């Protein structure tokens, strides 16, 4: 399982553990300088799945 770290809705990193994700978020929060410009951070736990492109041969069969 991976933990995906988001900053203002954009994925910025993935980590192997929840603790590592929280540590990373804390590092980003320490870099922020102005209280009005604070970012929102979130974590999503899940598994990464890669979906390959179809080959040209399979696309022709699907059209028929």
Q: In the chain, which ranges are continuous DSSP H helix?
A: 18-31, 56-63
pLDDT tens sequence across 6-63: 999 999 999 999 999 999 999 999 998 888 889 999 999 998 888 889 887 765 666 6
Return the bridge partners of 44, or none: 4
**CA angle centred on 24, ends 20 and 26, rounded to 5°:** 115
């Amino acid at each position: 399982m991976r933990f995906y770290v988001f900053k203002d809705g954009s994925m910025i990193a993935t980590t192997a553990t929840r603790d590592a994700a929280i540590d990373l978020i804390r590092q980003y929060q320490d870099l922020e300088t102005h209280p009005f410009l604070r970012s929102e951070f979130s974590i999503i736990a899940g598994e990464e799945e890669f979906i390959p492109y179809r080959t040209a041969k399979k696309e022709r069969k699907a059209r028929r």
